[in-house]
Amino acid sequence: QTTDAQPLPVLGRDVTVPLVTGGEVTYAALDYAASAPALQRVWDDVAAYAPYYGSVHRGAGYLSQLSTDLFENSRRAVAEFLGCREDDQVVFTRSTTDSLNLLAAVLPAGCEVFVFETEHHASLLPWRDARVSYLNAPRTPGEAVATLERALAARDLKGPALVCVTGASNVTGELWPVRELAAVAHAHGARVVLDAAQLAPHHPVDIAELDVDWVAFSGHKLYAPFGSGVLAGRADWLRDSEPYLAGGGASRKVARRSDGGVDVEWHTTAARHEAGSPNVIGVYAIASACKALTEAGFDRLVARERELVARVREGLAEVPEVRVLSLFGDDAPRVGVISFVVDGWNSSHFAAALSAEYGIGVRDGLFCAHPLVRTLLGGDAGDPGECGAPDAGPGERSLNAIRVSFGAGTPDEHIERFTGAVR
């Protein structure tokens, strides 16, 4: 049973790669969680704009004005895509990592931070200058809510606090109970930032409806390449802090003081945190991707992806040696991100074989979420080095995992090839 939704055209559909067994095959990109292929529509939009490319907020010429309009219209398009409230700001950054580090840089004095140990390192690590409570991995969504409730109650907060939660795990693909976590946080006077790096490409995100204070995501996972990201949400903490980067564009007025120093008046808009010449192509690409997903009918894409998830799960379940990694249990709803290990196989060798023998691109490793993967693998994953993991010998237990991930551009054939290859 399939929905009527078709995969969206993406770049690289016809790229062929050599096989170790001889011949070649079209590449099956099944690593969307790392970087998704760009939508053809995004590429076309960017190509149409490229001849008109000009500096943003920094030129009197026609093309500079056009680029400035395009940049600010892109901001509005992203705000609309995220269902932003009237006074929310949309700050353009380089990536989710950059967005969360920006937020960490503007935390009010004395801010306490609460974060689950299961987060991606981009969500786990930026807060270390604050007082951080790392929360233990919950084994159900309900336990996540109860754990946060307990942690917040125990601290008896008097000052500012922030809870950082993921929308969908980059390891298990499982959806987190964002709305419920946000309600608990707010009941204790804490703010919430949603790491939507893996949620936004697979599921509509409505900031007002989820009632979170900020959302962060990356363009390159949302079918838009070119190194841009978003931090959207409440203006107050952003406005009340020093700029994330000091420089032109962030400053409204700069003057020498009589004592020889320099006085600066910073912008109070999103520009405050966007110093330097902005990545107008990347920003335009994000807006184009947001529009393309909305126009294609995001709900239909989500429904189709759910079917692909079910097919991958069924295919993996046919192989007794496969163990799918899950925090919340087999039936937990998840996006198109699934990690697993195969008994008797080193995960890196398995992923290499999928590439060399079948032209399938997946990822192996600890996925920049070392504490989570260690928990899921039984706590004995080795010292992984740079987001990777050491080799296990043949027949030894996996120290790392294999991750297959897919989305709006994935044709049925890639899923069939993958499940067939694993079999």
CB of 97 to ligand PMP, least distance (A): 3
Contact track, ligand PMP, 9-48, x by CB under 6 A: ------------------------x---------------
What is the DSSP annotation of 174-190? BBP-HHHHHHHHHHTT-
Among 89, 118, 170, 400, binds ligand PMP (CB under 6 A): 170
Among 8, 79, 84, 122, binds ligand PMP (CB under 6 A): 122
Closest to ligand PMP by CB, 219 or 249: 219
Among 89, 95, 241, 405, binds ligand PMP (CB under 6 A): 95
How many positions of this chain bind ligand PMP (CB under 6 A)?
14
CB of 401 to ligand PMP, least distance (A): 14
Closest to ligand PMP by CB, 137 or 319: 137
Contact 168, 195 (CB under 8 A): no
CB of 95 to ligand PMP, least distance (A): 3
Torsion sign over Cα 94, 231, 327, 172: negative
Considering the rule CB under 6 A, would residue 124 count as an interface residue with ligand PMP? no
Whole-angstrom CA distances from 341 to 322, 349, 383, 389 are: 6, 11, 18, 13
* Nearest of 341, 343, 339, 333 to residue 368 by alpha carbon: 339
* Nearest of 59, 78, 76, 56 to residue 68 by alpha carbon: 56
Among 112, 174, 195, 213, binds ligand PMP (CB under 6 A): 195
* Nearest of 230, 120, 106 to residue 164 by alpha carbon: 120
Closest to ligand PMP by CB, 5 or 168: 168
Q: Phi/psi at 370 (nearest 5 deg)?
A: -60, -45
Annotation marks residue 368 as catalytic:
yes
Query: What's the CA gap between 126 and 103, in Å, rounded?
Result: 9
Contact 187, 62 (CB under 8 A): no
Considering the rule CB under 6 A, would residue 198 count as an interface residue with ligand PMP? yes
Among 89, 101, 118, 166, binds ligand PMP (CB under 6 A): 166
CB of 281 to ligand PMP, least distance (A): 17
Closest to ligand PMP by CB, 68 or 228: 228
Query: What's the CA gap between 381 and 328, in Å, rounded?
Result: 20
Of 111, 164, 290, 368, the catalytic one is 368
Q: Helix count (H) and strand count (E) of the chain?
A: 13, 17
Closest to ligand PMP by CB, 339 or 410: 339
What is the DSSP annotation of 221-276? GTT--SS-EEEEE-SHHHHSS--SS-STTTEEEEEE-TTS-EEEEE-SSGGGG--S
Query: What's the CA gap between 180 and 166, in Å, rounded?
Result: 13
Considering the rule CB under 6 A, would residue 410 count as an interface residue with ligand PMP? no
Stretch that binds ligand PMP, among 90-98, 101-109, 234-242, 406-414 (CB under 6 A): 90-98
Closest to ligand PMP by CB, 84 or 368: 368
Tokens of 325: 């990694």
Query: What's the CA gap between 139 and 303, in Å, rounded?
Result: 26
Considering the rule CB under 6 A, would residue 364 count as an interface residue with ligand PMP? no
Task: Enumerate the active-site residues.
Answer: 368
Q: Would you tell me which residues interact with ligand PMP (CB under 6 A)?
A: 33, 95-97, 120, 122-123, 166, 170, 195, 197-198, 218, 368
